[in-house]
């Protein structure tokens, strides 16, 4: 009997593709470039599963054009590339890759906070440009991190990881806002206090965004929110582009309405708003918060586990729409 066919939509670890090939006929994109939607649909013909990397848009058009597709397994904790309602309505399972990237991503969030507050990349550019000719008493004076107030918007697993680092490692006072409050036990463990969003914006010395992208969260931070922040505050976004209005942020940075920002994600990435490239008080990284080999392997392994487990036993490890189990297409 021929094996079911799956597609790997973008280049990933060869070992991940090899594991899939033990169970399935695999077609794998050898390139880092995303296929166009038309090409993705063409490649998906006859495939029951697809390994996605968080950027391939799986919507009603794709699902209707690929009636054999039963599972989309994301190598990412975020799954805003999936139209989950359209998938659920058509009996297509989505899976994501939570937990395995939590600590690594929290490490990076903290690194970006530190680099932003202490102006590490800005001062490095100055040095590399040969501009360091003398000492001055306030040269690249930054913002205190230890003992300051850390604000976290979005208190899922990664947000909690950042809270722990801030509270336990740097003696920061941690405040957070989230759709729902943490349990008293988790609040105590993270030493975090729940506050309203406005209070978070007004009070935080360093504000870290870790909320998932949903239409409701689009431009959660825009001109009005930036206006509430302290002029000395810093903003870090390791969540998703689109949560921040990048044009409004660039203007606020230019006008020094906030002190600095650290951004790993951008609206329309890999394109970056030209005004962000033009201001000095921003640290910019190319969406690498989860990028260590150990963690990226674990993310790929989890996506592979989900494909194998679901297509062989019907029991995925980390479904995002578990309500479709039992009524997935073709079952």
**SS3 state at 72:** strand
Compose the 78-97 pattern: x for residues touching ligand 8YV by CB under 6 A, - for all others: x-------------------
Cα–Cα distance measured from residue 273 to residue 277, given in angstroms and rounded to the nearest whole number: 7
State which residue, 53 or 234, has the beta carbon closest to ligand 8YV.
Answer: 53
Catalytic residues: 240, 269, 287
State which residue, 77 or 192, has the beta carbon closest to ligand 8YV.
Answer: 77
State which residue, 7 or 75, has the beta carbon closest to ligand 8YV.
Answer: 75
Closest CA to 28 of 37, 19, 308: 19
Does residue 8 belong to the site contacting ligand 8YV (CB under 6 A)? no
What are the b/e assignments for 84-104, b being 16+ CB within 10 Å?
bebbbebbbbbbbbbebbbeb
Spatial contact of 236 and 117, defined as CB atoms under 8 Å apart:
no
E strands of 243-328, at which residues?
260-263, 282-284
Smallest separation (angstroms) from ligand 8YV to the CB of 318: 12
Cα–Cα distance measured from residue 150 to residue 87, given in angstroms and rounded to the nearest whole number: 37
Does residue 142 belong to the site contacting ligand 8YV (CB under 6 A)? no
Smallest separation (angstroms) from ligand 8YV to the CB of 228: 27
- Piece of the chain touching ligand 8YV by CB under 6 A; list 69-77, 131-139, 166-174, 197-205: 69-77
For tokens 């906030």, name the residue: 258
Say if residue 169 is exposed, middle or buried (CB neighbours under 10 Å; 0-12, 13-18, 19+).
Answer: exposed
Smallest separation (angstroms) from ligand 8YV to the CB of 139: 35
- Piece of the chain touching ligand 8YV by CB under 6 A; list 76-84, 133-141, 145-153, 273-281: 76-84
Does residue 50 belong to the site contacting ligand 8YV (CB under 6 A)? no
Among the listed residues 54, 262, 316, 319, the single contact to ligand 8YV using CB under 6 A: 54
25, β-bridge pairs: 5
Residues 272-291 contacting ligand 8YV, CB under 6 A: 290
Does residue 72 belong to the site contacting ligand 8YV (CB under 6 A)? no
Smallest separation (angstroms) from ligand 8YV to the CB of 23: 22
- Piece of the chain touching ligand 8YV by CB under 6 A; list 28-36, 71-79, 130-138, 162-170: 71-79
CA–centroid distance for 239 within its chain = 4
Does residue 104 belong to the site contacting ligand 8YV (CB under 6 A)? no
CA triple 219-109-35, angle to 5 deg: 65
Does residue 259 belong to the site contacting ligand 8YV (CB under 6 A)? no
What are the b/e assignments for 282-294, b being 16+ CB within 10 Å?
bbebebebbbeee
Does residue 311 belong to the site contacting ligand 8YV (CB under 6 A)? no
Does residue 77 belong to the site contacting ligand 8YV (CB under 6 A)? yes
For tokens 């990881």, name the residue: 161
Cα–Cα distance measured from residue 144 to residue 273, given in angstroms and rounded to the nearest whole number: 28
Cα–Cα distance measured from residue 7 to residue 88, given in angstroms and rounded to the nearest whole number: 20
Smallest separation (angstroms) from ligand 8YV to the CB of 288: 7
Smallest separation (angstroms) from ligand 8YV to the CB of 145: 24
Among the listed residues 17, 76, 229, 260, the single contact to ligand 8YV using CB under 6 A: 76
Binding interface with ligand 8YV (CB under 6 A): 53-54, 75-78, 101, 290
């Amino acid at each position: 009997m021929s094996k079911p066919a799956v597609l790997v939509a973008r280049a990933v670890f060869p070992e991940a593709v090899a594991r899939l090939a033990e169970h399935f006929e695999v077609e794998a994109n050898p390139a880092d470039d995303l296929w166009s939607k038309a090409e993705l649909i063409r490649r998906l013909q006859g495939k029951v599963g697809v390994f996605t990397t968080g950027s391939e848009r799986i919507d009603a058009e794709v699902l209707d054009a690929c009636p054999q597709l039963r599972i989309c397994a994301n190598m990412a904790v975020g799954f805003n590339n999936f139209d989950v309602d359209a998938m659920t309505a058509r009996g297509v399972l989505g899976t994501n890759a939570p937990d395995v990237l939590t600590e690594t991503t929290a490490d990076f969030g903290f690194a970006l906070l530190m680099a932003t507050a202490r102006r590490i990349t800005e001062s490095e550019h100055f040095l590399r440009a040969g501009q360091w000719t003398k000492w001055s008493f306030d040269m690249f004076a930054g913002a205190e991190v230890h003992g300051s107030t850390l604000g976290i918007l979005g208190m899922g697993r990664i947000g909690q990881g950042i809270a722990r680092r801030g509270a336990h490692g740097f003696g920061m006072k941690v405040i957070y806002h989230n759709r729902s409050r943490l349990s008293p036990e988790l609040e105590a463990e993270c030493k975090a206090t729940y506050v309203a969003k406005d209070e978070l914006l007004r009070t935080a010395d360093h504000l870290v965004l870790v909320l998932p992208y949903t239409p409701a969260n689009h431009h959660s931070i825009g001109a009005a929110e930036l206006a509430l922040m302290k002029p000395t505050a810093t903003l870090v976004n390791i969540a998703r582009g689109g949560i921040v209005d990048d044009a409004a942020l660039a203007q606020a940075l230019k006008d020094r309405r906030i002190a600095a920002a650290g951004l790993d994600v951008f609206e329309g990435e890999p394109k970056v708003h030209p005004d962000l490239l033009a201001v000095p008080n921003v640290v910019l990284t190319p969406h690498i918060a989860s990028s260590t080999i150990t963690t990226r392997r674990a993310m790929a392994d989890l996506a592979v586990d989900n494909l194998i487990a679901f297509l062989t036993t019907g029991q995925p490890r980390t479904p995002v729409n578990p309500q479709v189990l039992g009524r997935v297409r073709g079952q």
